[in-house]
Amino acid sequence: MRFYALRRLAMALPTLLVISAVIFALLDLAPGDPMAQLPDTIPPDVRDDMRAALGMGRPAPVRYGLWLWQMVVVEPGIFLGLIPEDAATRILSWQTRAPVMTQIAQRLPQTIIVMGSAYALGITIAIGLGILSAWRRGGAIDQAGTGLAAIGYALPPFFTAAVLIYIFAIQLNWAPTIYDTTLRVTGWDSLAAQLRQMALPIAVLSLQTTAQITRYMRAAMLETLGQEYIRAARAKGLRERTVLMVHALRNSMIPVVPVIALGAPQIFAGAIITESIFGVNGIGQLLLISLRAGDLPVVQTVTVLIAALIVLANLASDLALPWLDPRLRDA
Amino acid sequence: MSKRSVAASVAIALKLITPAFASSIAAETGARGTDGTLRILYWQAPSTLNPYLSGGVKDIEAASLVLEPLARLSPEGEMIPWLAKDIPTVANGGVAPDLRSIRWQLLPGLTWSDGSAVTSADIAFTYRYCMAPGAGCAQAAKFRDLDRIETPGPLTAVLYFAQPKPFPYGPFVGSQTPLLQAAQFADCLGPRAPSCTEANFAPIGTGPFKVTEFRPGDAAIFEANAAYRMPNSPAFAQVLLKGGGDAMSAGRAVLETGEFDYAWNLQLGPDILAAMATRGKGQITTAFATLVERLTFNLHVPGSQPPQPHPALSDIAMRRALSMALDQEAMVAFGYGAAGRVTCNMLPAPPAYASAANQGCATQDLDGARDLLTQTGWIDTDGDGVRDREGARLEFMFQTSTNAVRQDFQALAKEWWRQIGVATKLRAIDASVFFSGDPGSPDTLEKFDADIEMFAGASDGPDPEAYLAGWACDAAPDAQNGWRGQNVGHWCDPAYDALLDRLSRTADLVDRAALARQLNDMLVQQYVAVPLVDRGRVSAHANSLGGVQINAWDSELWNIADWHRLPG
């Protein structure tokens, strides 16, 4: 088991290296210029000097090598305190001329709070809804669940966000349309304000998660409920609650866990569209503004970090399955 | 001298004589910082507060709360002394008769927000900071003609130019080139500039506010500067400058929900803005400078090497006919509403520089255009609705950047030109490519691989010399100069170049304005380019916010010290 985990981890490293090289090549080949957003009153030769100051003039392999060195050695070294801050050049954003990692660190908490609660809420609703839908197949809850899933799949977040903003922010005035990232929770009032401003983005995001996961959950639960051992459990006279939550749930989770695990990196990646609409200063918004500004170091670093998280989540789900399913333990 | 600077001088004089008295007035009336928090929304979030490291408008404007120049530009494009005592001119002896130097005099008693004195050394340092090799200073063009800065006294700085400079107000005038504190940035010269993140994110300034917290790409919090030179301002104690989202959500937050007091740069459809404004929470405000949306004609066959004259567009009658077919008034109403107005000039402002010789350009005349085309020999011989001559169809490729309004304009022009027998193929190129100036891409503004293109351009500041020089013969981009230059249509007229040369030797502002009008008239009357819309800046502010005077020449937040909360 431990050998298996180590082997999977060793496989993950070359995968990440290839991913980072491909991302770098794609970004480098894509058209676009970090100077394109500047007013056209700034003359071309000044722009050239600015590009040179950003280190854009060097050949692509050199820039990739430097980035890799900074990503793998310098940044972890500074994070762990092994390298003093001014001893090495860190990965600098072209827009802010400041370290990319500080920017990511600054934004991670908001992303995790908003995305994390949306994901947790979405999964909870999805699992609950999936169980109930399968239990009373064709009943009112099943119908409602199917409808909700269809809506969640069909409506893109920019549309649901606009509708929710129109109803709850503009007409009813219950929630703000713009997330105040400088709000500090110090008491009940500010906590209420924080919850109010989180409500709409979380609603938009959890609808997506719910829609995606509840269908898997329902299907898995239906299959399990048709098994002989469930009939046996019912025949033993167990309470329906015990049959569902103890006997059926665990087995139904087997196909659902990988789906949940693979979706988990999005907690860190943020939600590009939803974060931008509400002005949540998360990683997704950072990615979008950096893409728009042609800020390649930020885009490169963020996408590779997300790729790393996806690879790790994949690994985690592979390692979690034997815990749910004893048949996999000897494999 | 404006009312404002009189007030400033009086305030400073008071402070000098009896500092304790002045501050006790402020304490008693409680005028500074009594209006709570001002909430400003920039849908493009500032990425740094050092305008020298980023040329972006969002960054310059955010920094303008803190950093100030020697002189600002008023909403009419006139210079106002700001940190300087007055505007140096030849007449008052501030500008040398040989036009090679300008002497700026700082206001006495100025202090940075940390309490230290502002001196001429800070002026000299700011120049050194921007010109240090390896810094990638975005405003280097403003300082380029400077040879050196001398500081004969603590409040006097003399800027020496390498050449006689008829308009010496480039450096330290306007929001792009404010003063930096020498003490704070001393170790940040050249390649070390990015290592000074702390200073770049919280520069020490002389402005009404100082930085409390800055989060790049998200928000900045400012608080009233206790050392600000005017004792009773700013009225607000705190400013939250939030960034992010889009123009739509920014407009909504001010005009519909009232969450914010001010929203910057609302480039939205006129119908959308008008609908938002009907909710009565805020109002829309506009300001105009020199940004003109224009059509430019390619006088060369696209992509020809060596360049061949364009068979159709090198004829002025053809260019005139295409221009006559357009209905500028309809275009402005349709695409811009309050954010635009019809103009017949490539240089629409400041008022003294705007020519009155081209009125009536905006009237559509389809019949006149048809007659003109027939006279040039382009006639529809095969009856397919498109004119032809010597076997060649009259068909143009019309390109611009991807942008909703520009694509609407393309469709309108195509339809009007169809009605005069001209076929048009449309092409939209992503803005980050079109405006990249990348010599390796065939799709840039400069390569102009089409017959007609549309874009916007503006003069940098109130003096139009550099802007008008963009139509000089040697400003045409080609393979030799690496596809650089603003004369993308390759128009070349020795008479225009001769006039430009005269402008570069004329110091008197009235004469300069007359020459600029003449140059503008040549461009317009020879149909080198067709001005379509004089584009303004549109912002919105809450009805409860007083003192806003939107300014397209300087930072929109230029007079934020005077902003206040209206009662009720």
Smallest Cα distance from B244 to chain A, Å: 5
Smallest Cα distance from B532 to chain A, Å: 18
Please indicate whether, in this complex, the C-beta atoms of A53 and B136 are within 8 angstroms of each other.
yes
Crossing angle of the two packed helices B19-29 and B3-17, in degrees rounded to 10: 120
How far is CA A148 from each of CA A202, A215, B491, B538, rounded to the nearest angstrom?
A: 16, 10, 62, 41
Query: Quick check: B136 contacting A, CB < 8 Å?
Result: yes
What's the CA gap between A313 and A260, in Å, rounded?
9
Best of A28, A29, A46 to disrupt the B interface (most B CBs within 10 Å) is A46
Given pLDDT bands bounded at 50, 70 and 90, which one contains residue B480?
Answer: confident
Smallest Cα distance from B141 to chain A, Å: 7
Burial of A77 (0-12, 13-18, 19+ CB in 10 A): middle
Cβ-contact B196, B180 below 8 angstroms: no
SS3 B197: helix
Q: How far apart are the first and last CA of chain B?
A: 34
Residue B242 has φ and ψ, to the nearest 5°, of -95, 140
Query: Quick check: A196 contacting B, CB < 8 Å?
Result: no
Please indicate whether, in this complex, the C-beta atoms of B218 and A93 are within 8 angstroms of each other.
no
For residue B326, what is the DSSP state? -
Burial of A315 (0-12, 13-18, 19+ CB in 10 A): middle
Q: Has residue B568 got a pLDDT over 80? A: no
Output the pLDDT for position B3.
45
Determine the residue type at B216: P
Burial of B456 (0-12, 13-18, 19+ CB in 10 A): middle
Query: Quick check: B403 contacting A, CB < 8 Å?
Result: no
- Considering only the beta carbons, identify the residue of A35, A176, A286 that sits closest to B259: A176
What's the CA gap between A152 and A154, in Å, rounded?
6
> What are the structure tokens assigned to B513, written together?
């304005």
Smallest Cα distance from B136 to chain A, Å: 4
Mean pLDDT of B267-272: 85
Contacts of A293 in chain B (CB under 8 A): 47
Mean pLDDT of A307-329: 80
Please indicate whether, in this complex, the C-beta atoms of A50 and B136 are within 8 angstroms of each other.
yes
Cβ-contact B445, B488 below 8 angstroms: yes
Contacts of B48 in chain A (CB under 8 A): 95-98
Q: Has residue A109 got a pLDDT over 50? A: yes
pLDDT digits (tens, 9 = 90+) for B367-389: 999 999 999 999 998 889 999 99
Contacts of A60 in chain B (CB under 8 A): none
Query: Quick check: A285 contacting B, CB < 8 Å?
Result: yes
What's the CA gap between B529 and A104, in Å, rounded?
46
What's the CA gap between B207 and B227, in Å, rounded?
9
pLDDT digits (tens, 9 = 90+) for A167-179: 998 888 888 888 8
Burial of A162 (0-12, 13-18, 19+ CB in 10 A): middle
Output the pLDDT for position A330.
63
Smallest Cα distance from B388 to chain A, Å: 37
For residue B84, what is the DSSP state? B
Residue B492 has φ and ψ, to the nearest 5°, of -145, 120
Q: Has residue B249 got a pLDDT over 90? A: no
Smallest Cα distance from A276 to chain B, Å: 5
pLDDT digits (tens, 9 = 90+) for B59-89: 999 999 999 999 999 998 889 999 999 999 9
Return the number of other C-beta atoms located less than 10 Å from residue A48's C-beta: 17
Task: Kindly state the helix (H) or strand (E) to which residue A149 belongs, with its residue range.
Answer: helix A140-154
- Considering only the beta carbons, identify the residue of A35, A39, A281 that sits closest to B218: A281
Q: Has residue A305 got a pLDDT over 70? A: yes
What's the CA gap between B466 and B460, in Å, rounded?
8
What's the CA gap between B490 and B488, in Å, rounded?
6
What's the CA gap between B273 and B252, in Å, rounded?
9
pLDDT digits (tens, 9 = 90+) for B462-474: 899 989 999 999 9
Task: Kindly state the helix (H) or strand (E) to which residue B160 belongs, with its residue range.
Answer: strand B156-161
pLDDT digits (tens, 9 = 90+) for A249-264: 888 888 888 888 888 8
Q: Which residue of A has its CA nearest to B455?
A: A40
Best of B189, B218, B242 to disrupt the A interface (most A CBs within 10 Å) is B218
Q: Which residue of B has its CA nearest to A167?
A: B257
- Per-window interface: B 486-545 vs A, CB < 8 A: none
- Considering only the beta carbons, identify the residue of B55, B135, B213 that sits closest to A38: B55
Contacts of B134 in chain A (CB under 8 A): 52-53
Output the pLDDT for position A282.
85
Q: Where are the alpha helices (DSSP H) in B238-352?
A: 247-255, 270-277, 316-324, 328-335
How far is CA B422 from each of CA B204, B302, B311, B324, rounded to the nearest angstrom?
A: 59, 18, 14, 13
- The strand pairing partners of B233, in sequence order, are none
pLDDT digits (tens, 9 = 90+) for A39-49: 777 888 888 88
Mean pLDDT of A272-296: 85
- The strand pairing partners of B246, in sequence order, are none
- Considering only the beta carbons, identify the residue of A31, A50, A170 that sits closest to B433: A31
What's the CA gap between B200 and A98, in Å, rounded?
9
For residue B288, what is the DSSP state? E
- Per-window interface: B 449-468 vs A, CB < 8 A: 457-460
Contacts of A270 in chain B (CB under 8 A): none
Q: Which residue of B has its CA nearest to A54?
A: B136
Smallest Cα distance from A52 to chain B, Å: 7
pLDDT digits (tens, 9 = 90+) for B524-539: 999 999 999 999 999 9
Given pLDDT bands bounded at 50, 70 and 90, which one contains residue A209?
Answer: confident
Nearest to B224 by CA among B459, B30, B22, B493: B30
Pairing type for strands B282-297 and B392-393 reads unpaired
Q: Has residue A125 got a pLDDT over 70? A: yes
Q: Has residue B27 got a pLDDT over 70? A: no
Cβ-contact B474, B86 below 8 angstroms: no
- The strand pairing partners of B79, in sequence order, are B73
Burial of B365 (0-12, 13-18, 19+ CB in 10 A): middle
Output the pLDDT for position B400.
95
**Omega into B350 within 30° of 0, i.e. cis?**
yes
Please indicate whether, in this complex, the C-beta atoms of A42 and B55 are within 8 angstroms of each other.
yes
Average pLDDT along chain B: 89
For residue A243, what is the DSSP state? I
Mean pLDDT of B438-449: 89
Best of A97, A159, A200, A276 to disrupt the B interface (most B CBs within 10 Å) is A97
What's the CA gap between A259 and A245, in Å, rounded?
20
Q: Which residue of A has its CA nearest to B464?
A: A41
- The strand pairing partners of B146, in sequence order, are B161
Sign, CA dihedral B329-B335-B341-B344, equals negative
Token pair 């947790």 is found at A120
What's the CA gap between B384 and A331, in Å, rounded?
75
What's the CA gap between B266 and B276, in Å, rounded?
12
Token pair 């999005």 is found at A266
Cβ-contact B168, B461 below 8 angstroms: no
Contacts of B437 in chain A (CB under 8 A): 33, 35, 44, 47
- Considering only the beta carbons, identify the residue of B55, B200, B249 that sits closest to A39: B55
Output the pLDDT for position B194.
80
- Considering only the beta carbons, identify the residue of A40, A99, A276 that sits closest to B245: A276
Smallest Cα distance from A13 to chain B, Å: 32
What's the CA gap between A237 and A55, in Å, rounded?
73
Best of B52, B249, B453 to disrupt the A interface (most A CBs within 10 Å) is B249
Contacts of A279 in chain B (CB under 8 A): 242-245, 249
Task: Kindly state the helix (H) or strand (E) to which residue B564 belongs, with its residue range.
Answer: strand B564-565
Query: Quick check: A1 contacting B, CB < 8 Å?
Result: no
Mean pLDDT of B280-299: 93
Mean pLDDT of A231-243: 87
Please indicate whether, in this complex, the C-beta atoms of A97 and B197 are within 8 angstroms of each other.
yes
SS3 B205: coil
Determine the residue type at A4: Y
Task: Kindly state the helix (H) or strand (E) to which residue A316 belongs, with its residue range.
Answer: helix A296-324
Q: Has residue A11 got a pLDDT over 60? A: yes
Ramachandran category for residue B530: left, alpha or beta (phi over 0 → left; psi -120 to 50 → alpha) = beta
- Per-window interface: B 199-228 vs A, CB < 8 A: 200-201, 213, 215-219, 221
Q: Give residues with Cβ within 8 angstroms of A235, minimum separation 6.
A: none
